Structure 1
Amino acid sequence: MAENREAPHTFTKQGVYYFCRRVPKDLQQHYKSPKISYSLRTRSPSVASSRALRAAQKLDEFWYHLRLKDSDLPGKNLLRMAQNVNAAPTAWSPVEVSPDTVKLSEAVGIYLRLKGQGRGVTFQRTTERCCGYVIDVCGDKDITAYTKSDANAFRDDLLKRELAGSSITRIIATVRSVINFAASEIGVELSNPFGKVYYDRTAGVEGREPIPLGTIRSLQGECRKLDDERRWIVALVSDTGLRLAEAVGLLKDDLRLEDEVPHVVVREHPWRRLKTSGSSRKVPLVGASLWAAQRIKDSSPDSPFAFPSYTTLDRANANSASAALNKWMKPKVPKNTTMHSFRHSLRDRLRAVECPADIVDQIGGWATEGVGHSYGSGYPLDVLYRWLKAVE
């Protein structure tokens, strides 16, 4: 049967949607049939699309691990993990570890198997890369054998790379997490030498400035003139304050233009996780953001993604979008302002009309301090809409 265009990887039978995916030829030895097919138990195109995309993403992740198991891959960092990958269990089988201790490369395997489920390729690559730096400098040692001098040598190597303090912080935090997690899993107590490493955390870090309102209006005008996918992203972010990754990973179905209050639903997808649990929210669409949402809805009828140039079943490539959009914006905006500066600007714009702080936090997906703010379901859309209209 022909694949349904409204919901990729599906076909319909008597009005019911079915998931269908062919097994790649190099992996068919693992299956009894060359095709995976089953009912999605829905007649709704949008529900079927969401379920099918999630199933396809899980299959892609599992096939990725099967390929790692079946063959060695090129690339130094990947080859470091080969001994773990070849012994990798399936997603539903228990993880077997040594009762004594493990090397750092094995610790990475444990960490990814247990904490990497559903986290995407970026999470895996980042973990392997960060721990790969340690192996390059200090060797692939037993996790209990690393010393303070090893941690300091690792820090010095990162400083030689002229990385910003914030980047060094993220790398060391990843290494620390991998070692602590593996030690906990195998029941080993240790004093992690990567726990307290001194360096200037502010070195090379430039604060992001908000974009002036006049510049925002000018950018929005240019977006309407150019009227293409990249400019739709800029316009959508400009009056909603969405994080760029949140915007890039949207489905068209996340843009609810038919509702009484037009809004965008920010929710987690298999190809794009949210930064925090509080990032899941609904944001009213006004001004340039409403225009962008309307243009997105009218474009690319064959794709369920809002921005198909940057989003696939595997991931939402926010880094690529960021590079392209910041390059376009650079000559048009003040120094130290980027796409992320729209979030800073929206907060200032809402402050200027004396919008209550907890409403600002709900619109931007920021955490609001205090236990009481975790009760209830937040402000209704029409209240958020009134405040965003005030800054439109």
Structure 2
Amino acid sequence: MTTTTTNHSAKSILLLALLLVPHLAAASSGDALISQRRRLLDYHGGGGGHGGGDVYVDPSYTFPNARLRDAYVAMQAWKRAVLSDPHNVTGTWIGPDVCAYEGVFCAAARDDPHLVVVASVDLNHADMAGHLPDELGLLADLAVLHANSNRFCGAVPSTLERLHLLHELDLSNNRLVGAFPDVVLRLPSLRYLDLRFNDFEGPVPAELFDRPLDAIFLNSNRLRFRIPDNVGNSPASVLVLANNDFGGCLPASVANMSGTLDEIILMNTGLKSCIPPELGMLTGLAVLDVSHNSLMGAIPGELARLENIEQLDLGHNRLTGDVPEGICHLPHLQNFTYSYNFITGEPPVCMHVKAFDDRRNCIPGRPDQRPAEQCQFQNTHHAPEKYN
């Protein structure tokens, strides 16, 4: 039964039977179908994604519980929304045994260990094309949703806000568009957010940094309009904002992340002005990358307090003055890059760092430095952009 007319006829017969035969109204399959249809009507009445239309459930199918029936509807709606599936992942999405579908993982429900539910969907590197349907919000027990390295386009459906148990959301490396998907701000259990390599645009909402996220990956989108001043409120251990166009300064509040932050990547984000000395308070930091920006002034001596730093990249900016000697004495420093700046002096100890790069500066006696005419700019604000 595949046509719309046949589908509606089958459903009409079932609903008529429920009305005419009272004892059938108590049947679990009938109740589940009615409940399911009500939920779907709610979905199609609102939300920011694309509905998959009513999903026909064969009356002969039986499900261990109503949640697996919902999961069946969600996965069939997603199957409908897929336009290209070169690895034939959805070829296994047949029949009522949702737990046997490729990419779907089931486990005991958190609130009832006797119920089996869909706990995880992992479609990483499936290279599917299509969109994300509203019915994904029916996967109410989902803790992990991974769909990176596909070709999903369109918006992130607002119905995902129903995934109250979602702990990890990875939609990276797709073709998703629109404003920052603020539905992620309404996921109370979310700790890992990866939206990199998409086409989200506009500002990052300040509320994001008030959420209890451990990892935030937003790099390689089209986000703009400055990094919010409250970025330091975030308890994240990893913050990656690279390859966007925020501009402005790095808020000094980032120093408030000293108790949690391990890595911060701000490469090519349009940052201007100086490196805030407050960065030196991030004593647990292992990786700091502010390269490929327009940062000016001296390298702050406070960076010598980064006692756990391993990778420090200040390259491709407009920094001037001498490299603070204390930085090169840091015990864990393995890679120190300050190439393509206007640095005029470096202590000899810096050359003993396992991997350091001082090319294209203005350091007397060092090889591969800038020509004299480029080093004449006392104020690097006036240096041509091509010198970065």
Scaled by the length of structure 2, what TM-score is found? 0.21
Which structure has the highest strand share of the two? Answer: 2
Q: Which has the higher contact order (CA 8 A, sep 6+)?
A: 1
Which structure has the highest helix share of the two? Answer: 1
